């Protein structure tokens, strides 16, 4: 692990020096971030164990033209102190381009993007490794001075080399209307239709007389498609309270539009991949929450948020064992305090912060009931 860390630190310094020397051309920008996370229940068990995770991230952005496309590369290492076989690298490359449809001061534009993400465990264990290809397009258009329409489309393909049955395609289309008032109030209504299609390979054995005489059998691979379509609608209200504070509240509803079920693989509940642990397509229900933000003296920023979720699961391993539907309620509380440091030599900005999250998940199946405390210390620079 010391060798790995020395390589990472060397890469960080190289990126920093290279980017700083190129700033005069306004072509390069980026950042370096470090955080340490403590969690008392990393894999959502009824009686979890403590874990420390050190995260190192570096990002470099290249924009050769003032109003042209830009290229982004980022690298990260998440180092688990106790469960060392879960430590992993991630690499991502992205291409993005934003442009205005016409000369406007309202910020109306079209944004296009493409990205590739690769994750692999440092131990060489490839069970939870994956790669993602994604495309996205979105636009903002003012229908009048106070009514904004935002729409977009996202596509992604996720592959698990060692779990090929779980590869899927995601397609989502969304549209959002935002209404702004002179009282510094904003109302947002968003509706999205999302579809996830799994390609499940089904291996069957076919015997014929020749194969039987040779002591062999023939394998026939067929491909079954499992598609789930989900409608998501959300109402959000934002209000500026004073000059340096604001609050918002939201309600989001999930409804599956067909009888198909997602794939719930409870045997992978120890994975740090949310798609393996809790596929968002396998449950219906609603989320309700609120967030408060406050800018404090000395460049301090405070955020407080809470969310309550009610979930009705469509399919999971427990259903097939106990023949009843899994019903969960989840409560999340989040606190964040950050401080920005200006006029730091050699860099544009320096930011440090502390975050705390408390999660309570109650279920009619004890197997899925857990609590989790998470503490995060972070520091990052941008250049």
CA dist., res. 240 & res. 247, Å (int):
6
Domains defined along the chain, listed by start: 2-374 (2.40.160.40)
Provide, rounded to the nearest whole percent, the portion of the chain with pLDDT above 70: 77
Q: Got the DSSP string for 86-116?
A: G-EEEEEEEEEEEE-SSS-SS--EEEEEEEE
Provide, rounded to the nearest whole percent, the portion of the chain with pLDDT above 90: 48
pLDDT the model gives residue 121: 86
pLDDT the model gives residue 208: 46
- Whether the Cβ atoms of residue 230 and residue 256 lie closer than 8 Å to each other: yes
What is the average per-residue pLDDT within 39-60?
88
What is the average per-residue pLDDT within 342-357?
86
Task: Give rounded-to-5 percent helix, strand, coil for the chain.
Answer: 15, 60, 25
The torsion angles phi and psi of 169, rounded to 5 degrees, stand at -115, 135
Q: Which two tokens stand for residue 189?
A: 């209504």
DSSP-derived 3-state class of residue 183:
coil
Average pLDDT score, the chain: 81
What is the average per-residue pLDDT within 27-50?
87
- Whether the Cβ atoms of residue 79 and residue 51 lie closer than 8 Å to each other: no
Confidence band of 172 (pLDDT split at 50, 70, 90): very high
> Who has greater pLDDT, 197 or 219?
197
For 220-252, what is each residue's pLDDT tens digit? 444 455 788 999 999 999 999 888 899 999 999
What is the average per-residue pLDDT within 87-111?
81
Radius of gyration in angstroms for the set of CA atoms belonging to the chain, rounded to a whole number? 24
Looking at the predicted structure, is the pLDDT value of residue 379 above 70? yes
Question: Could you tell me whether strands 327-341 and 185-206 are parallel, antiparallel, or unpaired per DSSP bridges?
Answer: unpaired
DSSP code, position 166: G
The set of residues, in sequence order, having a beta carbon less than 8 Å from that of 119 and lying 6+ positions away, is 88, 89, 90, 128, 129, 130, 131
For 121-166, what is each residue's pLDDT tens digit? 887 777 778 999 999 999 988 887 789 999 999 999 998 887 767 7
The torsion angles phi and psi of 97, rounded to 5 degrees, stand at -155, 125
């Amino acid at each position: 692990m010391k060798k790995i860390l020395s390589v990472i630190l060397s890469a960080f310094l190289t990126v920093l020096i290279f980017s700083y020397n190129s700033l005069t051309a306004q072509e390069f920008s980026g950042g370096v971030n470090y955080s340490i996370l403590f969690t008392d229940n990393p894999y959502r068990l009824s009686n979890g164990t403590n874990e420390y995770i050190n995260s190192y991230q570096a990002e470099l952005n290249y924009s050769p033209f003032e109003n042209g496309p830009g290229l982004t590369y980022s690298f990260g290492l998440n180092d688990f102190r106790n469960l060392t076989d879960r430590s992993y690298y991630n690499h991502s490359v992205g291409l993005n381009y934003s442009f205005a449809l016409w000369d406007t001061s309202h910020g109306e534009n079209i944004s296009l993007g493409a990205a590739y993400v690769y994750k692999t465990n440092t131990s060489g264990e490839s069970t939870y490794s994956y790669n993602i290809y994604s495309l996205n397009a979105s636009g903002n258009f003012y229908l009048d001075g106070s009514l904004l329409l935002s729409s977009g489309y996202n596509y992604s393909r996720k592959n698990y080399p060692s779990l090929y049955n779980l590869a899927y395609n995601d397609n989502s289309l969304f549209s959002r209307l935002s209404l702004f008032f002179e009282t510094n109030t904003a109302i947002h209504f968003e509706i999205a239709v999302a579809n996830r299609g799994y390609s499940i390979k089904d291996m069957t054995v076919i015997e014929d007389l020749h194969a039987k005489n040779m002591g062999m059998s023939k394998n026939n691979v067929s491909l079954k498609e499992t598609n789930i379509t989900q409608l998501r609608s959300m109402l959000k209200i934002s209000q500026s309270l004073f000059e340096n504070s604001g609050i918002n509240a939201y309600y989001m509803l999930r409804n599956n539009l067909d009888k198909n079920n997602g794939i719930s693989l409870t045997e992978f509940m120890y994975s740090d991949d949310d798609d393996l642990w809790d596929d968002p397509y396998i449950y219906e229900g609603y989320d309700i929450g609120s967030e408060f933000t406050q800018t404090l003296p000395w460049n301090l920023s405070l955020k407080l948020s809470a969310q309550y979720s009610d979930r009705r699961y469509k399919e999971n391993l427990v259903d097939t064992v106990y023949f009843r539907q899994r019903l969960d309620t989840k409560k999340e509380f989040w606190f964040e305090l950050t401080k920005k440091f200006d006029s730091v030599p050699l860099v544009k900005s320096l930011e440090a912060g502390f975050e705390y999250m408390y999660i309570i998940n109650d279920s009619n199946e004890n197997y899925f009931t857990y609590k989790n405390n998470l503490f995060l210390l972070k520091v990052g620079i941008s250049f």
